[in-house]
Amino acid sequence: MPVHPTAVVEPGASLDEGVTVGAYAYIGAHAIVGANTVIEHHATVDGYTTVGKNNHIYPYAFIGGKTHDLKHKGGVCRLNIGDGNTFREYVSVHTATADGDATVIGNCNYILAYSHIGHDCRLGDHIIMSAQVATGGHVHIDDYANIGGNSSIHQFCRIGAYAMLAGHSFLKKDLPPFMIAAGAPAVVKSYNRIGMMRNNFSEDERTFIKACFKLLYESHFNRTQALEAVRKLPDFSRYPKIKHVLESFFEENSERGLA
């Protein structure tokens, strides 16, 4: 395995075949790194961290740092990372707070420079997080979400699949799937038509989401009435992928309320 002679790989660390470790990188004793992952010079993988295969960790990234949460009392607090993720320069990702819990990152996510993923966060797949995004603890971000640069996400917020948070925004409530929010505090402005086009949703599916947006944000309904009206739309069961995404989001308890 191509481990640079100046890198520090602590006894107990596990590196699978094809792992590359650059100059002055540090791999902690409890780290497990999957096949063909690249850890660039001066990067760190520490803590009870499991990194899947084909990840790329760029210089000065700190993966597996100890939680900032003052409730931390020790124990085995984990970070589980899937396959094919990119962590650019100076990204930091923290382990969970409580013994036995884990911060979880899925597959094929692209996390840009100086971004921070806090303790107990859960990220899905194919998420783009632009530079200098900060997430508080316990944030959930679903598949294919797009987070603009210099944005902040309050702890316990959730961002739905295919949603977009504009740059320089502060999200303090949940952002529903397929919607675009902007501002400080962030307010839903529209539905993510371009994002849906890029992810091969049909014109009919995009039109359906537009109708959902109008019911949720441009009608006289309150939240409960609007959600019921969405479920009664004639095409709701016609698009099983959209139906699943919407129902899985709205059926989960919202601790922060909706943006």
What is the set of active-site residues? 119-120, 137
The gap from C-alpha 193 to its chain's centroid, in whole angstroms, comes to 21
Partners of 140 in the beta sheet? Answer: 122, 158
**What whole-number distance in Å separates Cα of residue 39 and Cα of residue 34?**
11
Count CB neighbours of 114 within 10 A. 18
| 51 sits in which H/E element | strand 48-51
Q: Which of 181, 122, 124 is nearest to 147 (CA)?
A: 181
**What whole-number distance in Å separates Cα of residue 195 and Cα of residue 180?**
10
**What whole-number distance in Å separates Cα of residue 233 and Cα of residue 216?**
12
**CA distances, 158 to each of 10, 177, 212, 221, 256 (Å):** 36, 10, 19, 22, 9
Q: Which two tokens stand for residue 18?
A: 């094809």
